[in-house]
Amino acid sequence: MKYLTLSRSHQLYFALVLLVLLPLVLAIAFQPELHGLYLEHFVRPELEREFGFTAGEVQIPALVGCPPQFAIVAVSPSGVLGRAGVKPGDLPVGYVHGFASGFYSDLLWLKAGHEIELKVMASADYGKGSPAWRRVRLEPSSAR
């Protein structure tokens, strides 16, 4: 049985293709997760300062044994979210690809000059099973 042998130049070419293509394929495959991590770790602090809120995780008493949920932990009454009616303990809801990254993406969209509509639910209402969310509309002029 013959084994496939490659010349030195073919080996280098093969190694170079693997070193370039493999990270590219992995980056494409895991792009949503990487983007979410980028938003949560690098963009979040700036958005919190600019829009007057602090985000974090809260344990919902009605959901014993469930992991903590992403929530707005604190809101400055004079901040953009506070003036729009967002309250401490509100949970952003309605995001398909992750609550935190979807919420931060919406705020970036607002910052870019577009109107957004957030859906939020009081953490006390979350475990009740009823759709008690409310809409909060933010316009670019409110972000100034």
Q: Where are the domains of the chain?
A: 47-143
Tens-digit pLDDT string for the chain (144 aa)? 567 788 889 889 888 888 888 887 777 777 878 888 888 889 999 999 999 999 999 888 777 778 888 999 999 999 999 999 999 989 998 886 568 889 999 999 999 999 999 999 888 787 676 667 889 999 987 666
Q: Which amino acid is at 87?
A: K
SS3 call for 122? strand
For residues 108-134, one letter each, b for 16 or more C-beta atoms within 10 angstroms of the residue's C-beta and e for the rest, the string is eebbeeeebebbbbbbebbeeeeeebe
pTM, entire model: 0.74
Which residues are paired to 92 by β-bridges? 120
Q: Can you state the angle between helices 31-38 and 99-111, rounded to 10 degrees?
A: 70
d(Cα 87, Cα 105) in Å, to the nearest integer?
20
User: Under a CB-based contact definition with an 8 Å cutoff, are residues 36 and 100 in contact?
Assistant: yes
d(Cα 54, Cα 143) in Å, to the nearest integer?
16
User: Under a CB-based contact definition with an 8 Å cutoff, are residues 90 and 122 in contact?
Assistant: yes
**CATH number assigned to the domain covering 47-143:** 2.30.42.10
d(Cα 135, Cα 64) in Å, to the nearest integer?
27
